[in-house]
Structures are given as C-alpha cells and as structure tokens.
Structure 1
Amino acid sequence: MALHTSPADPSGTVPPGEIIRRARKTQGMSLAQLGELTGYSASQVSRLERGESPLAIPVLRRFAQALDIPPQALGLAPTPTRHRSRTPMYPRLPAPTLGVRSSDGEDAMRRRDMLSTLAVTAAAAMGAPIAGAGEAASDDTQLADTLTAGLRDAMLGLGRPVPDEPLSRLAADLRRATDDFDAGAYSRLALHLPRLVRAGHQTTGSSDQLRILARSYLLATRTLIKVDEPQLGWMAADRARQLAIAGGAPIAVAEAARQQAVLARRSGWHDQALTLALTAADDPALREAGPQGEAQRGLLIQCAAYTVAHQRDRTSMRELTAEAAAIAKNLGPGILRDTSGAFTTATVQLHLISAETAAGDPAAAIAAADALPPQLLPTAERRSMYFTDRAKAYAQWGRRDDCIRALLRAERQAPEETHARPAVRALVSGLLLSGRTTPDLRGLAARTGALAG
C-alpha cells in the first residue's frame, strides 16, 4: 500500500524511499545518523531513499522501526511496536546492473571479434570533423586540440598502424603515459597516449591485453574530461567498461562507472551520476578485491559526494566525504596509484575543496584547502588541481587577487596542463572582465589563450 498524497502530486503516491527521506528530515536526522540506527552507510541510505536500490520488506521494516513510521505507510502489515536498536551489521544490497564479468571460458576468438567491433565506429556520431595527424603544436594553448585529435584518430582506427608489441612493452607504455598525465605533461601525453591506444588494438586479444587496453581507455577518459571533450569521453569510458568486463577486471569496471558518473554530472544528469557511482560502489566484486577494491569504492563514494554538492545538498556531501575519508584512513597511504589516481586522506580532502565550492560555500572550501598541505598530494597534477580549486573558491568569494595568485601557483606545478585546460581559460577570462588587470593577470591570460580573438 502506498501513501496517498495531495492532488499536486501527479502520481498520486509517494515512493517508500521518499517517505523515509521526509521522515528523516522531519526528525532532523542526517544520513549518517539514520545509517547508525539501521546498520547502513550514509551512501546506502541515500541510494535507498532515492529509489536507486530496492527496498525489500525486511529493509522497509528496519527503516519503519528506526523512524517510527507506521508500517502501513510503507505498504507493510502492522507489527507490534519495538524499541529502536543500534546494529553493527553492514548488509549487502542486491548486485548492481552495471554488467557481469566474462566467464573464464571466453575464448580468444571472441576477444578478437570484440576488439574488431570496438575499432569500427561511425565518424558521423562524433558530430565533428576528424582531425588529421600532425606535428604537436608548440603553443601550450593548442595542446588540448592536438591531444584530442590524436585520441580521436586512434579510437577511430585512423592513421598509420603500429606494429604488434609484447605485453611487457604495452604495460611499460601505459606506465609512461600515466606518468605523463600525473606530471601534467600534455606534450608528451599527446605523443604517447594515442599510440598506446592504437597499439593496444593491434595486439592479440588475451585477457591481460584487454585489461591494459581498458586502463588505457580509462586514462584517455580522464584526459578528455580535463580538456572538456565529453563526446569522446563517453566513447572512451564505454569502451573501457566493455574491455574491463571482457578482461575480468572488476576494479577497472568500477572506475569506468566512476568516469561515466563524472561525465553525467558535467552534463547536468545528477540523478544518473549518483546511480552510476553508488551502484558501482556496492558491487560485491570490489569487496572481494582487497585494499585496491576498497580504494576504488572510496573513489566512487567521493564522486557521489561531489555530485550531491552540485545539488547544493551540503549535509549529504559532507557525510559522503566523511565516509570516503574513513575508508582512506583505514587503508593508509599510497593506495590505487594507477590510471585511477591515488586514493589517500589527502586526495579526499582535495576533493572536499571543490565540493564545498560546488555547494556554494567558498569560505568552507578555503578552510578545507588551508587544512591540506599541498606537498602531501602525490603528483604534480593533483597539486595543480589543489591550487586551481583554491582559485575557483576565491573567485566565487570575490577575492580576485588571491584567485590570481592561486592560478599562478597552479601554473608553476603543471604549466602545460594549466595552459591547456578550458576551465582555467574560462576562469582567467572572467577575471579579465570583472575588474582591473595587472601584469600577472595579463601574462597568465596570454599563456592560457584567454586574450585570443
């Protein structure tokens, strides 16, 4: 039995998850507090309230008991009143629908067929002309275009083929491309990453090779998100997910879901982004993957926190961030140093800076930044992001001089990345229009291309 609502509700009923959310809000209870009463994490409570995880009868009874909701309101038969009790259990929710892992018996022919299918993509679907191969531009502001063109051609199977390479060489090339990304070295990345994608498609489709190619596409997706190329980013993330499933790599499957969630959020699809991130975080395969799986789960919960920040839900954002931080603290330093990036208490704090800004609280963002010594961040790319995020908070706060100083420090950490990113260019353009210019600002505008045209 569903709870009837006012005529203003076009459906005439309120879903059980919404009833639970309203009861929690009415009682002034946070996601984490309700989780303590029911044995769920804050992220699980959020999923259940939003209808992103099924509410089975035992689960409904637990929430009805915790919130003193009449059982009939949740479609349950009346039960005797019970006292609230805290339970330490952490129940396993139903398996996600992101996909299933390939069976161990999948033969090499099927893998090769899948690789061939992935290599054939309709260029018309890109909605843009295909750029030809050319020499890397010397101007940093053109690096994003050069990198995008190279990845587009490699993903479409265009350009000069590369010879087959042994698995050890592919793995070394992936490490080199990851190092380029971590250093913000876009000129080297523009040479190495497209070649890696092309080489990955040339070699025999073993499980190990599929996993390397999946991680190459994950790195490509992160890069395309940085340079604001969502159309190619969606393609790269989807290929990464297919390859990871075929290669039996659950952590890479989850990372592809995280990157798809980022792309969905950037497109304004916040509910879909939450579904992608939180469903992937509940994949039992991650819990079976040891510390690396736990780190990936933390990254997904962190991604969900940033998404609800864009919905201006500061309480849920902070609770989800605290959950990710607790996972990082339990794991210790140096986890997940691969194409997904590092996951430590410092990197969780880094994301809190941008989440507080997205939630509309720049003062809290600067306080979060002040609590994080940037030298604790593991790579130049992360340290550059620290100062860029700090600059965004200062801009939102109206502190132009502090914003400019932060951007200059970001530039010192990773000059090529800072100059190539459209987000930085837009921020500098806004500074040019909002007040007086200084030599530092005009120099930065010239180097980022904000003065062009």
Structure 2
Amino acid sequence: MDADRFIGQQVRVIRARRGISQQVLADRTGLSRGAIAKYESGERPIDSRRTLLALAAALDVTIGDLTGHEQDRLDPATAGFHVAVPELETVLWARGNVTDTAPPRSLDELTALTDTATRLRNDCDYARLGPMLAPLLTDAYRRVRDADPGSVDRAWDVLSAVTYGVASALRARGYYALAWTAAQESQRAATQTGGVAPVAAAAFSQGQIMLSRPGALPAALSTTIDTAEQLSAEVRTVGEIETYGMLHLQGSIVAATLGADPEPYLLEAAEQADRLPDARPSTSVTRNESFGPANVTLWRMSAAMEQRDPGKVLALASTVSAADLPNDGRRAQYFVETGRAYAMQRNYRDSLYALLRAEHVAPQHVRTMAPVRELVGHMMRTARRNLTTGDLGRLAQRVGVVPT
C-alpha cells in the first residue's frame, strides 16, 4: 500500500511546507490534534465536506488542492470531455463570436439538443456530452445576436439554459473557474428573459460552485435562499417549481455544511415537490427534472451524512429506492451516500457493495468522486485481506487509489 493515496497525505505535505504543526492546524480548524494525526496517517478518512473545507481554509488552499489527482483528467473514459474544454473556454470568453462558417441551428433544433445534453449530463455521460457543448453554445450565442424582435426572448431563454448546463458540467468535472464564467453568462441571459426558472437555475449553479470554496459558504447560502425569497411569489409552472425547489435543496446542504439546521429548507423543498402534479406546463427551456419527492429524500440523506448521522441516512434510504430517482446521476448518488453511511458504521462489506452499484450506474462520475476515493482508500487500509484482493482491490485501482 506504499502507493496508496488519500486526502490526509496531501494535508500532511502542505502543512509541512507551510511550517505548521499538527496542533496549530488543529487550532485553526477547531479539530483535535489527535484527529489531525489520524487523518494524516490514513487511520481516519476525511468523510465530511465541513472538515474538508475547514482544512482547506486553514492551509489556504482549494479543495481541489487536497483532493485532486492528475489522472482524473487523463481518464480515457472521459477524455472526450476534457479535450473539448479549451474550445468551450474560447466560446465563453468570446461570447460565441468565434470563427464558425456553418449556418447556426434553428431555435427548435437548439431546444432539442439542449434537452439531449441535459439528459447526458444528468446521466453523467460526460464522454458523449463534452463534444456537443461548444457547438451548442456557439449557436445559442449566434441566435441571440441575430434574433429578430419576435424571437429574441426565446433566444435568450435558450442561451440561459445552455450556459446553465455548461456550468453544471464544468463544475462536475472540476473546472470551477470556467464553470463560474458560464454561470455568470447564465445569469446575464436570465436577466434578459426575466423568467423565474432561468434566474433560479443561474443562482443554483452559482451556489453549487461556491460550495467548493473555503470561506464562500455564507455567500453560497445567501445567493440561493435570497434568490428563492425574491422569486417565491411568482413560482407557478413545473419548471419554476423545479428550479425554485432546487434552490432550497442547495440551501439545505450548505446549512448542514455550516453546522446549521437544514430542515427548514428541506421542508420547503418537499412542499414544492408536492405541487408538481397540479402545476402548469413550463414556459421556459430551463428545467431541473431531477427535482421531485424522491430527490428531496436523497438530499435529506446527503444532509444527514454531512451531520454524521449514518443511522438516519440508512433509515431514509429504506424509504426510497434507486429506481424512484429520475436519472443515473441521482441513482449513483443514492448508492454513494448509502455506502458512506455503512462505512461510518464500519460495515465495510455492505459499503463496498453500495459503491460498486454506484460505479455500475455512473462510472464516469463515481470513479472521480473525492468521497468515494477517500472511502475506498480507507477500506483498503482497514479491510480484511480477502476484500483487498477481490472487488475492493479492483475498485481501488479503477478510482485511482492504487495504481493498476
């Protein structure tokens, strides 16, 4: 296990470079010196976003500095996405004013392609999604520039939906700075439309990106919840309820990470999910079809996991099945949260089975998730030999904990 990789190793390396003792790091984070020692030795996994953010802030680094692995962007399964990022960056910087001699697709065609891209993103099929994004974004910008008065509002609505999807995909693959640029473009387009769903989606995207930065949690909470309060009186259609409800789900996980009570936000999200069957059809391209009662339960599981309550996570998991969730990304998250909860109870065999099911559902996503890598590495250090040489050992290779 000399080649084993875990977050605590990087904490130790950066702490040493900074000339900081374990006690000083403990004082800065509010953790005990013993906990720091266990994290650095790999005896205890860093399985909480709150702890990870506290360590990153104390060491003055980003979460990616602690969790990132160079092989993430060299994974052959997602190479198609990463190869497409430079072109996507150019399109965002130039707002679509790039060399492109092909005639732009119609708004109807762009709407259909946006739906396809959304399905691929929700199913975490980044290899197929990546090459679609730059041409889709370019044409969306061109339609805004060339729109006649009768189609300009619709063109801005399409651009808002496309940039929201681009921001979500970039964030999921670790391109946080570029994702922020896309989220700002989504907000700009949403302002032009004035629609509830585009405005809510842009705020949700910004809140998610800020959740990755130490010190930005208060801003992440205010961005999402303040926007929700501003929009609450206007929420009527399916798409508006979906995007508004997701703001409250985002608020719940930020609150849990801050050590506050996530329940008020979860209750509001649940009430909005109950409104969906009787709501009017959407008027905007922007949607978040992941939202619904089952997804609210999944976010309850994530909040309970952040509160380090594995019993509650597993109790909630028993009330919903993966089949109830709307896409592969959400199904994979269900199994990841279940696996993390089992591991917190030291039930490593059931934890491994849950993680294997998550990987089977959405391999491109799960194999690069920092919580999965951290947990698998911890199990490799503590599990019985028959597990490390079997399914667990092979999973450890696939997620990059140990070399193949």
Superposition TM-score, scaled by structure 2 size = 0.70
**1:406 is the counterpart of 2:354:** yes
Residue of structure 2 equivalent to 1:392: 340
- Number of residue pairs aligned between Structure 1 and Structure 2: 316
Structure 2 equivalent of residue 372 of structure 1: 320
Is 1:346 the counterpart of 2:283? The answer is no
Q: Which stretch of structure 1 is more off in the superposition, 419-428 or 370-379?
A: 419-428
1:239-250 aligned at under 5 Å gives the runs 239-250=185-196
Q: Which amino acid aligns with 1:139?
A: P
Is 2:129 aligned against 1:189? yes
Choose from 170, 189, 204 the match for 2:110.
Answer: 170
What is the CA-CA distance between 1:320 and the residue it aligns to? 2.3
**How far, CA to CA, are the matches of 2:82 and 2:220 in structure 1?**
27
Decide which moves more: 142-151 or 359-368.
142-151
Contact 2:80 2:131 in 1 (8 A): no
1:255-404 mapped onto 2 (5 Å cutoff): 255-268=201-214, 269-284=216-231, 287-313=234-260, 316-332=261-277, 339-404=287-352
Give the Cα separation in 2 of the matches to 1:368 and 1:447. 29
Query: One-letter code of the match for 1:331?
Result: L
CA contact (8 A) 2:235 2:244 kept: no
**1:49-108 deviation per Cα after TM superposition (whole angstroms, max 9, x unaligned):** xxxxxxxxxxxxxxxxxxxxxxxxxxxxxxxxxxxxxxxxxxxxxxxxxxxxxxxxxxxx
* Contact map agreement 2:196 2:235 (CA 8 A) in 1: no
Unmatched tracts of structure 1, length 5 or more: 1-135
Distance 1:144 1:427 in 2: 26
Question: 1:27-50: per-residue Cα shift (whole Å, max 9, x none)?
Answer: xxxxxxxxxxxxxxxxxxxxxxxx
In structure 2, do the counterparts of structure 1 residues 412 and 347 end up closer, same or farther at CA, with 3 Å as the change threshold? same
Do the aligned partners of residues 236 and 398 (structure 1) sit closer, same or farther apart at CA in structure 2, a change above 3 Å counting? farther
Of 222-231 and 170-179, the range deviating more from structure 2: 222-231
Change (3 A) 1:367 1:172: same
Provide closer, same or farther for how the CA distance between residues 178 and 286 of structure 1 changes in structure 2, counting only shifts above 3 A. farther
Structure with the higher fraction of residues in helix conformation: 2
The letter for the 2-side match of 1:264 is M
Paired residue for 1:128? none
Contact kept? 2:217, 2:254, Cα under 8 Å: yes
Distance 1:153 1:433 in 2: 44
Whole-Å Cα distance in 1 between the matches of residues 227 and 263 of structure 2?
A: 20
My pick for the range that moved more, 243-252 or 157-166, is 157-166
Question: What does 1:218-257 align with in structure 2 at a 5 Å threshold?
Answer: 218-257=164-203
Shift of 1:232: 1.5
Shift of 1:251: 1.2
How far apart are residue 434 of structure 1 and its match?
A: 4.4
In the alignment, residue 234 of structure 1 is paired with which amino acid?
W
Larger RCO (alpha carbons 8 Å, 6+ apart): 2
2:395 is equivalent to residue 444 of structure 1: yes
Per-residue deviation, 1:358: 0.8
Q: Is the 8 A contact 1:178 1:338 kept in 2?
A: no
Distance 1:201 1:422, change over 3 A: farther
Query: CA separation of 1:249/1:259 partners in 2, compared to 1, >3 Å: closer, same or farther?
Result: same
Structure 1 CA distance, aligned partners of 2:372 and 2:167?
19
For residues 258 and 344 of structure 2, what CA distance do their matches in structure 1 show?
A: 17
Listed one character per residue, the Cα deviations across residues 161-209 of structure 1 (whole Å, up to 9, x for unaligned) are: 3532211111121111112112222111012123211222233252212
Q: TM-score w.r.t. structure 1 length?
A: 0.63
Equivalent residues of 1:325, 1:348 under 8 A apart: yes
Q: 1:323 to 1:249 in 2, by over 3 A?
A: closer
Structure 1 residues 240-249 or 323-332, which shifts more?
323-332
Whole-Å Cα distance in 2 between the matches of residues 194 and 401 of structure 1? 43
CA distance 1:259–1:356, change in 2 (3 Å): same
Are 1:140 and 1:448, in contact at CA under 8 Å, matched by a contact in 2?
Answer: no
Structure-2 change in CA distance of 1:288 and 1:357 (3 Å)? closer
CA 1:200–1:423: 2 relative to 1, 3 Å: farther
Map of 2:38 onto structure 1:
none
Aligned pairs for 1:36-47 within 5 A: none
Shift in CA distance, 396/262, structure 1 to aligned 2, threshold 3 Å: farther
Return the offset for 1:279.
0.8
* Identical pairs, percent: 25
Instruction: Report if the CA contact (8 A) 1:329-1:345 is conserved.
Output: yes
Letter of the aligned partner of 2:213 in structure 1? Answer: S
User: Aligned-pair distance for 1:278?
Assistant: 1.1
Aligned partners of 1:137 and 1:394: how far apart in 2? 31
> Conserved in 2, the CA contact under 8 Å of 1:226 and 1:421?
no
Does structure 2 retain, via aligned residues, the 8 Å contact 1:298–1:328?
yes
Q: Which structure 2 segments of 5+ residues have no match? A: 1-72
CA deviation digits over 1:364-383, x for unaligned, max 9? 11211121111111112211
- Counterparts of 2:126 and 2:294, CA distance in 1: 24
1:138 to 1:277, Cα distance in 2 relative to 1, 3 A: closer
Question: Which of structures 1 and 2 has the bigger CA Rg?
Answer: 1
RMSD, matched Cα: 2.8
Corresponding residue of 2:77: 140
1:246, distance to aligned residue in structure 2 (A): 1.4
